């Protein structure tokens, strides 16, 4: 099994099983979700600018809906259909990032 495939499998398990981690309780903003995902995934505090950038990526994913892929997604994959899909997508990006791999 190659490294990329192993990362995808790990991300699928972590992000699929961690629904409560990325959705939390009640209605949260994408920035709150992104901040929690990044702080747990990277085991460090998340800068405000970083949380805003991740949230903007989640917003773009939802805005794209099923029309087109967004940055970080494969060409054959659509955008996110809702906030939960955007959170799962962001979780996958974090788990497959180089920084996550250092912990």
Query: Phi/psi of residue 70, each to 5°?
Result: -115, 170
Residue 8 or 72, more confident: 8
Residue 77, pLDDT score: 54
CA distances from 103 to 5, 74, 94 (A): 19, 26, 12
56: tokens are: 């903007």
Give the model confidence (pLDDT) of 6-62 as tens digits. 777 777 777 766 566 556 666 888 898 888 888 877 778 889 999 999 999 999 988
Burial of 27 (0-12, 13-18, 19+ CB in 10 A): exposed
What is the rounded distance in angstroms from the CA atom of residue 95 to the CA atom of residue 93?
A: 6
Name residue, tokens 């990362």.
7
Stated pTM of the model: 0.72
Residue 76 pLDDT more than 60?
no
Spans of all domains in the chain: 3-101
């Amino acid at each position: 099994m190659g490294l990329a495939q192993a990362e995808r499998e790990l991300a699928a398990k972590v992000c699929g099983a961690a629904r409560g981690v990325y959705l939390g309780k009640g209605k949260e903003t994408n920035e709150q979700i992104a901040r929690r995902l990044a702080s747990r995934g990277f085991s460090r505090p998340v800068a405000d600018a970083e949380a805003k950038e991740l949230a903007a990526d989640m917003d773009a994913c939802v805005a794209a809906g099923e029309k087109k892929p967004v940055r970080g997604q494969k060409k054959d994959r659509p955008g996110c259909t809702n906030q939960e899909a955007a959170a799962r997508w962001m979780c996958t990006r974090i788990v497959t990032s180089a920084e996550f791999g250092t912990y």
